[in-house]
Amino acid sequence: MSTLSPPPVNRRRFLALLGLSAVTVGCGTAVGGGPSAGGGTRKLRYQGWTGQVTPAELAQDLGYLEDVELEWVGNTISGPQDIQSAATGQTDFGGAFNGAVVKLAAGGAPIKAVISYYGSDEQAYSGYYVRADSPIRSARDLIGKKVGMNTLGAHSEAMLDIYLRRGGLSAADADKVEALVVPPVNTEQTLRQKQIDVAVLSGVLRDKALATGGLRQLFTDHRLLGSFSAGTYVMTERFLRQNPGTVRTFVTGVGRALDWSRDTPREEVVARMTRIVRKRRRNEDLAALRYWKSYGVAEPGGRITGEELGLWVDWLAERGDIERDRVRLGALYTNDFNASATASPATATAPATATASGR
C-alpha cells in the first residue's frame, strides 16, 4: 500500500517558497486595525470543492465572518493538495485529513490546525462496499484485491490500513492490498464492472449506489472509530502571528456555522446550501446537495481535541512514516482563536437578517 501523503517537505525549499509568497501575494500581509479591530487581512484565499458547500462558505453566507471576505481561487483535488497550497502561501487556509496534517507538520512545514471541519458520525461516514455476490467478508479476504478511493494518502487509505491491521494482517500482507485512485463519480460503476473489488463511497454517491442495490457493506470509518472529527483547517504560523483578528473572526465564524448546521433542520440547511451554489454561478451539479446530512464534526464549535491528532501521530510513527520526536502534539493545533466553542447556544444561531435570498 502507498504511504500516507503528502511527502515530506524539504524545509529549506519550503521556507524559500513561503518567503516568496509573502512578497508576491498581498493577501497574507496584516492590515493595521484589521477585521473586528483585532488586526489582519480582510480577505482569505481558499480552494473549494465542486458541488459542495464547505463550512467556511456556509459561515460567510450566514454572515458569521463579519468583515472578512473569502476569495475563491479554484477547486482542490484533495485534502493533501489543499494544505500544501496553504503551507506554501498559495492560499491562506486549507483543510485535510488529520493524518495528512500531522505528516506535513512532521516534514517541517510550520502549520497549525485551527478548527475541525469534517468528521464521521452515524449520518456522515465513508463506507467500504463490495458487490453483493463477492466472496470478500473479512480483512484477510482483501489480500491481492483492489480498493478504489478518491485519493491516496488521505482519509480513505488510512481507514483501510486500520481495518487491515485490526483484521490481523501483517505489514507484508497489507502491502498486497492495492489502493487505487478512482474518480468518485466513477467508483460505483468501476466496482459493478469488476475493475475493482472494493469501493469507498460516501454522501450522495453512497446513497444512490445503495438505492440501486447489489452492493454489500464491508465496513465503515464510523464502525472503526465511532464518531470523530477527522479533518482540520490549517494556517501557517506566520499567518496566525500577522493576522490574529482575521483568524479569530474566521475560526469563530466557522465554528458557529458548524453548530448552526447541527442545530438547524436538515431541510433548511440543504435549502441554504443550494442557494449558495446557485449564487456562485460555477455551473455545478446541485444533485448531491439533496443528500447532505451532516458535516460529522464531533465537538461543539469545531473545537479540536488532542486525541484526534494524537491518534495519527501514533499511527504514522508505528508505520515509520514520521519520526515521533519530530512532532509535539501541543504544537500541532490551537483552540485559542475559537470563541464559538465556548459561546452560549443563543449566540450560535443564524443572524436575524438572514433571508431566503441568502443574507
Higher pLDDT, 68 or 291: 68
Going by pLDDT thresholds of 50, 70 and 90, the confidence category of residue 40 is confident
| Residue-level pLDDT at 18 | 36
Cell numbers for 64, please give them. 458569521
User: 11-119+227-347, superfamily in CATH?
Assistant: Periplasmic binding protein-like II (3.40.190.10)
Alpha carbon 70 to its chain's center? 17
Lowest mean pLDDT among 73-82, 139-148, 186-195, 299-308: 73-82
- Classify domain 126-225 at the CATH class level: alpha beta
In 3D, which of 113, 157, 139 has the Cα closest to residue 1? 157
SS (H, E, C) 256-295: HHHHHHHHCCHHHHHHHHHHHHHHHCCCCCCHHHHHCCCC
Could you tell me the pTM of the whole model? 0.78
CA atoms within 13 A on the CB side of 29: 9
User: Where do you find CATH 3.40.190.10 in the chain?
Assistant: 11-119+227-347, 126-225
The pLDDT tens digits for 151-210 are 887 789 989 999 999 999 999 999 999 999 998 889 999 999 999 999 999 987 898 899
Report d(CA 71, CA 92) in Å as an integer: 10
Exposed, middle or buried, 165 (CB in 10 Å: 0-12/13-18/19+)?
Answer: middle
Report d(CA 119, CA 297) in Å as an integer: 5
